[in-house]
Amino acid sequence: MSARLTALSAAHLDRLAPRQVADCLAYFDPDAVVLTDAAAGEATRATQAGPLADVEVLAPNPPPYLANRGLPRVIDAGGVDVVVPASHDQLAGVAVLEHEGTVDPATETYVVSDLLEVAVEPTELAARLDGREAYLDALDPGALDGSYTHVAVTAPPSYRRRWDGMRVVGGGTPESEVATLSLSPDGTVCTRSIRETRLGLRAIAGVGATTAARLRERGASEPDDVAAMGVPDLRAVDGVGRGRAEEIADHATAIAEGRVVVSDHEGFPDPDAEPIFLDVETDGLTPTAVWLVGVLDRSRRDGQATAGDGRFRPFLQRDPDADGFAVESFLSWYAEHAAGRPVVAYNGREFDFPVIERHAAEHCPELLDHWTTAPTFDPLAWARDGHAALPGRTNGLSDVAAALGWDGDDTGLTGAAVARRYRRWCRERTAEAELDWDRHVEYCEDDARALARVYDALARADPTAHDRGTGGGSDAGSMQGRLTDFS
Amino acid sequence: MTGDAPTGTDVGSRPLTADELERTLPGYEGQVVDRIEQPAKPGLTVDPATVLPDLDVPFDGLYEHQAEAIAALQDGANVAVSTATASGKTYIYGLYFAWLQRRRPGATALFTYPTKALSGDQVTELNDLYDDLGLDVLVEKYDGDTPADRKRAIRDRADVVVTNFAGLNVYLPHHHRWRSTFADCELVVVDEAHAYTGVQGMHVAWILRRLLRVLDRYGSDPQLVCSSATVGNPVEHAERLTGRPFALVDEDTSPRGAREIVFWDPPAGDGGSGGDDPLAAAEAGRSANAEAADLLAHLGLSGVRTLTFVRSRQGAEVTAKQAERAAGRHPTDGYLSVRPYHAGHGKETRRGTEHGLKSGTLDGVVTTNALELGIDVGSVDAAVLAGYPGSRQSFWQQLGRAGRGTDDALGVLVARSDAIDQYVLDDPGYLLEDDVEDAVLDLSNNVVYAQHVLCGANEMPLTDDDREWFDVNGAHRPADDGNEEWSSDRSGDPQSVQDRPAQGRLPSDGRGNPPDEGRLDAAVGMWKDAGKLVGDLDRGVQYAGPPRPEADVDMYATTGERFEVRLRGDGEIDIADLARGRAYRDFHPGALVLHDGVQYEAVALREDTPNPYVELQRVSTNEYTRTQHTKEVTDLDRREVVDLGGGYRLGWGMGTVNVHYDAYTRHEIGSGDLVGGPRPLEVPPVDLRTGVTWVRTPPELGERVLDGIPGEDLLAADAPLGEREYTFLGGLHGAEHAMIKLAPLELHLSKSDLGGLSTLSHPATGGPTWFVHDAVDGGVGFARSIFGHASAVARRTRERVAACDCGVQGCPSCLMDHQCGNRNEPLHAPATVGILDAVLDRLDDG
Ligand SMILES: [Zn+2]
Ligand SMILES: [Zn+2]
């Protein structure tokens, strides 16, 4: 349970076609859209909302004649109250709302506004939260019973910071992405985002803004339409050569039909070698701790017995001081029981593999050779290298696996949120801060099984006739470094 | 193709001296004003076996300085080599690495060069060296030009990777791909280290620390070599760049032929129309480039292969054409083959030109400073410098390109009307003084620092251990609580090197200053507040911002916020992105911009978009524009104040410089006559928080200085100021201008990164004051280095202004400056001299 808010700026509304906005809303299915700047509000008022007609629209920054009176707007969704004060006067009304029982002090309440702004002064090595004093004066937190989180639409959506006890979360929009915040009753805030290039026809690898426009001129408005065109018709589009037509056709087909399209199996692990499927949990993007290495070691595949024993093995490190324990336990096990078998991880080339290597070198150098000689395989990187097209709205594992029919647990948590929890555990080391380890192990197993599903689909697919060669998908901008996406 | 020119195989018949030039140059008008003769000098060599007994070195002798440097490296020292061009610096680290690899097979090295062209040249030279040695050492270039499908093989296999710092900045986050190079890295070379000063130097210094930190994590603690042209402070500079202690090798024992250096003053112009802009009038005179073209033609036709250095790409193109035309007018009626050379040409073109020079098919090349660095151009007989290149180090480097080995050579400095050129012409002995300019590198800029802290965190989590790399000085604490009346004693020369440990890592910034405890904490705190870092130094601080923070590093700027330069309609224009101040000043709507010989008008300036830009449109006018500004210096945070007694004070600190570009004027090219404006400008003021140096005098100084000036020489009153006040202000303003213009005589800095302000009374100092400030947000250390060298800079300035034979209001050769926001008003040369005399008296008293 959570309230989902999708943030849109004037720049988004300017850049994105109405169809792309609709596509974005279909993907996130938000409870409301937050317009992050006044210009976005004007744009939507001018166009009578357009694609936003069917969704609740919150504008924390309306013109003054709308902002300076009455109580702030409140919506109740996903078990939480979201308050949208458009001015300091309205912010002062939060106490009234609490007093009247409009907001429930038992669950987290989220205050969405543009009244706070984070600013840095690098010459002084100092940062400020502009507007803090006026904000606190108006809010008067001492008089409130409930717990409040303050969503600043001026800050990027990955932003989390406590300023003098005030929890501030970013509710803005990053460049070239659309972000959605999930606000939970327990105060957990997760951010998911989708790149603009994954919206509308541009979701198809090889289709940029220009090609998308030309495809629309030819009557294609959905990936299905593009898939139906076929390579010869695609080649007739200006600026599309043979290689790209094939790339577009493959990916459109993958999306439209919810299956993988494999051009060749070059570089794919030997079908006789049963891989192990790996997923790691860390404390961040350049992790100081790998606290869970989960390994799925299947005993059967397609009804056939394999080398594995069918277990999911979590190598878990609960003790913040036992640095390297999870990686070391995993590598000891691998060296003894699975040496030489391919290790498969999703986005492993960019994240899991180098992270394990670095932590092994640091904490258990005696086992490093076992790791550096292990064959590794990253289905995402392999697909991007031009060997296959994956279905799914994004290249994220959950989207791809879901498109292939995998029905996983929706944990409601992102990798970034889990990393934040682990960091808190390390910092506070209280019972309250301790993670629900079993739950995280379950999530990890779920991801490893989703990965196995994707892997099997790739292994089984018949290569398409045409030879695309390498060169990679157009979406090579990698997931590395995207806090909202990594898992 | 020298055609039917005298082929001059007999060296004696070629004009390689001032006398011969005077005798043979058609239409000679007495341009030679001075000459310096440098005798030939034999080389000093030793048997290579003394230091490299187990290598089969394929030449007879090593120069002594090469052997000395190799021996120091063998002792485990880091070595700073500071010797002339063509003294064999590459062989020092090239041979040492061969020796090293013998002892530690599998050892790798990283060699860095400031340009890709130089990297390519050096890769060839090094691979040839290892071939000759019969060694299996693979040297590979790895940079932006490396094909993607080659990169992995180079990372995995090369023994020596040759690259540059802009490249390292983006490779470092992918360090795991570099494991095989990084884990065995035993030697890091920073070639042409003198090139890394100012803003670029700060970035390089931090990238080097990031590199050494990553290498440390892979278990490597490489030795370092910094090679540079002659600078005044080679060891200090190397230590500031890297944070490590260095041994010095600076005695050049390579041989040299005889060289004559000729000082050439172009004939004055025909007067031109004068007009109301003396700057334009000065430019109407015979330009140094045109004069250099004539010389090049004459030398080339006389069989003297010549390199001509000019200051701009456009200058190189035009001067090469002018030289060919001049050859047509030359009495020998010969055909001359000359090519321009600059970084704007493609690699193939540049290679072709280098080859033409080496093989002798070209008589001459006109180049920017692109050929100043060590690219091999074979044997050139003469170097003609069209304009003083701004530093003695560059001057010698450019002259040194002529006369390879023991061949005799000619150098000609063709002076421009600039103050600094005229200073050198007045006193060529300046060039022979022992001191060369100090390279100025200052790590206190927090804007740049904070960027690299983000990059470092993105590479590997930051922990307390990283204080070694990042708690490096900068944020010098205020000298006091801001009370100007407080005085420090004067013993603490901020530029002096204190005692330093002989071995190991410097605990500081390479300057002997203590580590700046808390700087890393402050930066981490700021970025955590900003949401770009998470965690703490105890367990590890991780990067959490948008991907690729290193992409925001601009090696030539302090902030990521830049204006792109676009061309209206189709087509592109090759102008690097602009800082805000530069965009407002030179690219505001209505500004006329001259770029590579083509005129444009700025038609739009947009900054309300994620990617700010300015838009140009081609025009053709007979006009140029000048931008006026008002300026304030506020919020002075005093770091050091020296009380000189009697109301004189010299100070340095951080200040807020507020510049408002508020109007611009249009002038006719040639006459400089005002043809339009001033028109108001609609751009907001720009605030810079930056380094500021100031000189404050007692108010009574005005009376004293003016008493020595005849009444008819006073400037006309300019309400509300009377003639005496206005004249005194002209003296302060002149001192400010001239000090900025002449600071490069002492310090290796670029004056375009400096600005100034003069006032009869400033609220922060309570008296007449002139300020010199860094024109870069966060500071670049230039103003501070002028504070540290105030006496020497003021003395040189006084000499030039006193020697200039122009009128009381100065000229471009002394006081006037293009970048003045006040149309060079008021300026008063005698008052400037009087003020500088008084200040020098005080400075020299201590
Ligand atoms: Zn003058
Ligand atoms: Zn001025």
Exposure on the CB side of residue A365, measured as CA atoms within 13 A: 5
Distance, CA of B353 to CA of B307 (rounded, Å): 12
3-state helix, strand, coil in chain A (%, to 5): 40, 20, 40
Close Cβ partners of B414 (under 8 Å, ≥ 6 residues apart) = B264, B266, B288, B291, B292, B295, B384, B385, B386, B387
Q: Where does B530-602 have alpha helices with state H? A: 580-586
Close Cβ partners of A480 (under 8 Å, ≥ 6 residues apart) = A285, A347, A350, A351, A486, B547
The more confident residue out of B764 and B59 is B764
Give the per-residue pLDDT at A131: 94
Chain B nearest CA to A257, separation (Å)? 32
Least confident of A329-338, B134-143, B282-291, B709-718: B282-291
Helical (H) or strand (E) element with B65: helix B64-74
Q: How confident is the model at residue B791 (pLDDT cuts 50, 70, 90)?
A: very high
For an interface test with B, which of A117, A123, A128, A159 has the most B Cβ atoms less than 10 Å from its Cβ? A123
Q: How many CB pairs under 8 A join A and B?
A: 109
Query: Are A112 and A138 a contacting pair, CB within 8 Å?
Result: no
pLDDT digits (tens, 9 = 90+) for B101-114: 999 999 999 999 99
What DSSP line would sit under B150-209, residue for residue?
A: HHHHHHHH-SEEEE-HHHHHHHGGGGGGGHHHHHTEEEEEETTGGG--HHHHHHHHHHHH
What is the whole-number distance in angstroms between the Cα of residue B782 and the centre of ligand 1? Answer: 25
Distance, CA of A404 to CA of A258 (rounded, Å): 6
User: Is the peptide bond prior to B720 cis by the omega test (within 30 degrees of 0)?
Assistant: yes
Give the per-residue pLDDT at B3: 36
Query: Are B135 and B97 a contacting pair, CB within 8 Å?
Result: no
Chain A nearest CA to B370, separation (Å)? 33
Chain B nearest CA to A71, separation (Å)? 31
Query: Are A81 and A102 a contacting pair, CB within 8 Å?
Result: yes
Task: Indicate left, alpha or beta for B615 from its phi (over 0: left) and psi (-120 to 50: alpha).
Answer: beta
Chain A residues with CB within 8 Å of chain B CB: 11, 118, 120-129, 155-156, 158-161, 163, 170, 174-175, 283-289, 320, 354, 357-358, 361-362, 420, 423, 426-427, 478, 480-483
Q: Pick the residue from chain A with its C-alpha nearest to B559.
A: A122
Contact criterion met (CB < 8 Å) for A122 and B536: no
Contact criterion met (CB < 8 Å) for A125 and B523: yes
Distance, CA of B745 to CA of B438 (rounded, Å): 10
Q: Are strands A3-8 and A32-35 parallel, antiparallel or unpaired?
A: parallel
Check whether B243 has a pLDDT greater than 80: yes
> How would you class A94 by CB atoms within 10 Å of its CB: exposed for 0-12, middle for 13-18, buried for 19 or more?
buried
Q: Does residue B170 belong to the interface with chain A, where contact is any CB pair within 8 Å? A: no
- Going by the DSSP 8-state scheme, the letter that residue A442 receives in this structure is H
For an interface test with A, which of B473, B534, B611, B658 has the most A Cβ atoms less than 10 Å from its Cβ? B534
Check whether B504 has a pLDDT greater than 80: no
The more confident residue out of A450 and B5 is A450
Contact criterion met (CB < 8 Å) for A125 and B519: yes
Which residues of chain A fall short of a pLDDT of 50?
A: 467-487
Give the per-residue pLDDT at A472: 36
pLDDT digits (tens, 9 = 90+) for B530-561: 999 999 998 899 998 888 999 888 887 777 67
The more confident residue out of B224 and B289 is B224
Contact criterion met (CB < 8 Å) for B534 and A426: no
Q: Does residue B460 belong to the interface with chain A, where contact is any CB pair within 8 Å? A: yes
Check whether B347 has a pLDDT greater than 90: no
Q: How confident is the model at residue B667 (pLDDT cuts 50, 70, 90)?
A: confident
pLDDT digits (tens, 9 = 90+) for B383-415: 999 999 888 888 988 988 888 777 889 999 999
Query: Are B802 and B788 a contacting pair, CB within 8 Å?
Result: no
Q: Mean per-residue pLDDT for B92-105?
A: 94
Point out which residues pair with B383 in neighbouring strands: B307, B411
What is the whole-number distance in angstroms between the Cα of residue B755 and the centre of ligand 2? Answer: 9
Q: Mean pLDDT, chain B, as a whole number?
A: 85
Contact criterion met (CB < 8 Å) for A156 and B689: no
Q: Which residues 526-565 of B have a C-beta within 8 angstroms of A?
A: 526-531, 534-536, 539-540, 542-548, 559
The more confident residue out of B370 and B770 is B770
Distance, CA of A3 to CA of A25 (rounded, Å): 14
pLDDT digits (tens, 9 = 90+) for B457-475: 999 999 999 998 998 764 3
User: Tokens for B128?
Assistant: 């040839």
Give the per-residue pLDDT at A213: 86
User: Tokens for B218?
Assistant: 């892979």
Q: Does residue B477 belong to the interface with chain A, where contact is any CB pair within 8 Å? A: no
To which residue do tokens 């076992």 refer? A370
Ion ligand 1: residues, CB within 5 A, are B 804, 806, 810-811, 813-814
Nearest to B542 among A129, A288, A426 (CB): A288
Q: How confident is the model at residue B276 (pLDDT cuts 50, 70, 90)?
A: low
Q: Mean per-residue pLDDT for B106-134?
A: 92
Point out which residues pair with A4 in neighbouring strands: A182
Distance, CA of B225 to CA of B113 (rounded, Å): 12
User: Tokens for B638?
Assistant: 């005093």
Query: Which residue, among B292, B260, B264, has the nearest Cα to B30 in the 3D structure?
Result: B264
Query: Which residue, among B436, B339, B363, B295, has the nearest Cα to B3 in the 3D structure?
Result: B363
Q: Are strands A290-297 and A311-316 parallel, antiparallel or unpaired?
A: antiparallel
Give the per-residue pLDDT at A306: 64
Which residues in chain B have Cβ-Cβ distances shorter than 8 Å to A127? 525-527, 529-530
